[in-house]
Amino acid sequence: MLELRGLKKSFGQLEVLKGIDLQVDKGDVVAILGRSGSGKTTLLRCLNFLEKSDAGTLSFDGESFDMARIGKKDIARLRAKTAFVFQNYNLFLNKTALQNVTEGLVIARKMPKDRAVEIGRRMLERVGLSDRESYYPSQLSGGQQQRVAIARALATDPEIIYFDEPTSALDPELTGEVLSVMRSLAEEGRTMLVVTHEMGFARHVSNRVIFMEEGEIVEAGDSRSVFEQPRQERTRVFLRNVYQHLETNEAPSPEG
């Protein structure tokens, strides 16, 4: 469904992505792991053209695009098939939960308002927030705000959803409700690319794992083998450190 070849990106002298290859099939849930600064967010932003790539070819649904030269029209067409969930939710603060979900449908998709509201309500129900449709973001917890953002992502029925650390701004007690919505999306066969530090999610919900370091993919494989038998020493060190950190700092999450 999605194939990326040779993605490169520098910020000035700093080469942040050094030639990333990636294939995502329909129904894949791919967890992207790696230390801070390894290029995970930049990878997602380049994939969704929030950042301009220096080189790379993106094939989506059989069409190929030169990422360094792609035009606005193709970007708009590709974005219509994707959705992005940000770490900090990116909700409109002056709009209600329902309006946040319907906004894109009415404005970008030119959908009649009553049809958009119908879809918006269905999506809020999907993430367990039917009773909060007229609340503003400031009246919602972080976990609820992120679930509104997920409802908004689902509203356009995207072929793939990119998540950039969707739970890392949340207090631990709110992380579970967002992860359980994401788990249910995985179970219904949604294609997702998820940057995460949630090892339970990466291990038990995603079917594939990518481990990045300094702008390169060090290891990629099915979740089970990456966690149980990592091939690269650098992956082993990373996983060992993460698990030590978990053991010393917090109790295992219900997802793990």
Ligand X SMILES: Nc1ncnc2c1ncn2[C@@H]1O[C@H](COP(=O)(O)OP(=O)(O)OP(=O)(O)O)[C@@H](O)[C@H]1O
* Contacts to ligand X by CB under 6 A: 11, 16, 34, 36-42
Site membership for Mg ion, residue 42 (CB under 5 A): no
Judged by CB, which is closer to ligand X: 145, or 196? Answer: 196
Would you count residue 38 as binding Mg ion (CB under 5 A)? no
The yes or no reply on residue 41 touching Mg ion (CB under 5 A) is: yes
Shortest Å, Cβ 111 to Mg ion: 32
Q: Residue 249 binds which entry of ligand X, Mg ion, none, with Cβ cut-offs from 5 to 8 Å by kind?
A: none
Concatenating the DSSP letter of every residue in the chain gives -EEEEEEEEEETTEEEEEEEEEEE-TT-EEEEEE-TTSSHHHHHHHHTTSS--SEEEEEETTEEEETTT--HHHHHHHHTTEEEE-TT----TTS-HHHHHHHHHHHTS---HHHHHHHHHHHHHHTT-GGGTT--GGGS-HHHHHHHHHHHHHHT--SEEEEESTTTTS-HHHHHHHHHHHHHHHHTT--EEEE---HHHHHHT-SEEEEEETTEEEEEEEHHHHHHS-SSHHHHHHHHHHHHHHHHHSPPPTT-
Complex with ligand X: residue 101 or 201, whichever CB lies closer: 201
Q: How far is the CB of 157 from Mg ion (least distance, A)?
A: 26
Give how many residues touch Mg ion by CB under 5 A.
1
By C-beta, is 123 or 210 nearer to ligand X? 210
> Which of ligand X, Mg ion, none is residue 120 near (CB under 5 to 8 Å by kind)?
none
- Contacted entry of ligand X, Mg ion, none for residue 42, CB cut-off 5 to 8 Å set by kind: ligand X
